[in-house]
Amino acid sequence: AQSVTQLDSQVPVFEEAPVELRCNYSSSVSVYLFWYVQYPNQGLQLLLKYLSGSTLVESINGFEAEFNKSQTSFHLRKPSVHISDTAEYFCAVSGGTMGGGSQGNLIFGKGTKLSVKP
Amino acid sequence: KAGVTQTPRYLIKTRGQQVTLSCSPISGHRSVSWYQQTPGQGLQFLFEYFSETQRNKGNFPGRFSGRQFSNSRSEMNVSTLELGDSALYLCASSLGQLRTTGELFFGEGSRLTVL
């Protein structure tokens, strides 16, 4: 079965500092990988995704993530964070090449709360 | 294009009651998934509907049920509410089935409090 582990539940960081949010997954099949962000009192929004091709994917607001198949990781990075990046970030995996059944859904990690301080 | 709309946004119920939550997906999206979000368990998959049929189901008791209508709108129902059902219930839509696209568009959720 697939699972997702986000190694840090909370990450405090100062504004303009770099940040890395870690995500590891376990799956016996090819996967699609996602990062979602949730701002307070809102639903989740897709930040970036890896489906195939280049292992480095970028979002429009400066975040990037690299798919590392050998380490089964999909860590999220940003070289310089802003106060507005304060939110909870969720890593998710879906069995992209599997047929239906219980593996056909998106499995989320427990989330990492990023707190950016001035 | 309008996003995913969930109603009601907030509701309070007492133990033993039942509740129905509604979700209107993005126009053209045929798949609707439901998730329960709690501080302790995080996001847990409830079920997915595609073309009015339940395609996937998570590990929740039979008190949790859902359906999808011909216009892709979906409802989920929880009967005989328990205190532990207090949570944010998130609906998400996607163009195709999750197993083929994997990308979800979420609503803002319905926050259920059970007293």
Q: What pLDDT score was predicted for residue A40?
A: 87
Contact call for B106 and A102, based on CB within 8 A:
no
Of A100, A103, A108, the CB nearest to B43: A108
Asked if A99 reaches chain B (Cβ–Cβ under 8 Å), the answer is: yes
pLDDT range class, residue A100, cuts 50, 70, 90 = very low
- Between CA A26 and CA A74, with CA A78 as vertex, the angle to 5 degrees is 10
Q: Is A95 on the interface with B (CB under 8 A)?
A: yes
Residues of chain B with pLDDT under 70: 1, 98-102
Distance from CA of B84 to the nearest CA of A (A): 18
- With beta carbons less than 8 A apart as the criterion, state whether A35 and A48 touch: yes
Give the chain A residue whose CA is nearest to the CA of B107. A43
C-alpha distance across the termini of chain B, in Å: 37
Taking the C-alpha atoms of residue B74 and residue B21, their distance in angstroms, rounded to an integer, is: 8
Task: State whether residue B9 sits within 8 Å of chain A by CB.
Answer: no
CB B105 within 8 A of CB B35: no
Choose among A46, A90, A100: nearest Cβ to B99.
A100
- How near does any CA of chain A get to the CA of B35, in Å? 10
How would you write chain B as a 3-class SS string?
Answer: CCCCEEECCEEEECCCCCEEEEEECCCCCCEEEEEEEECCCEEEEEEEEECCEEEEECCCCCCEEEEECCCCCEEEEECCCCHHHCEEEEEEEECCCHHHHCCCEECCCEEEEEC
Q: What is the CA radius of gyration of chain A?
A: 14
Cβ distance B97 to A90 less than 8 Å, yes or no, reads no
Tell me the per-residue pLDDT of A7-45, one tens digit each, with 9 for 90 and over.
Answer: 999 999 999 999 999 999 987 677 789 999 999 888 899
Whether the Cβ atoms of residue B57 and residue B47 lie closer than 8 Å to each other = yes
Percent of chain A with pLDDT over 70: 88
Mutate one of A5, A105, A112 to test the B interface: name it (highest B CB count within 10 A): A105
Q: Which residues of B touch A104 (CB under 8 A)?
A: 48, 55-56, 97-99
- Residues B51-71: tens digit of each pLDDT: 999 988 889 999 999 999 999
Q: What is the mean pLDDT of chain A?
A: 87
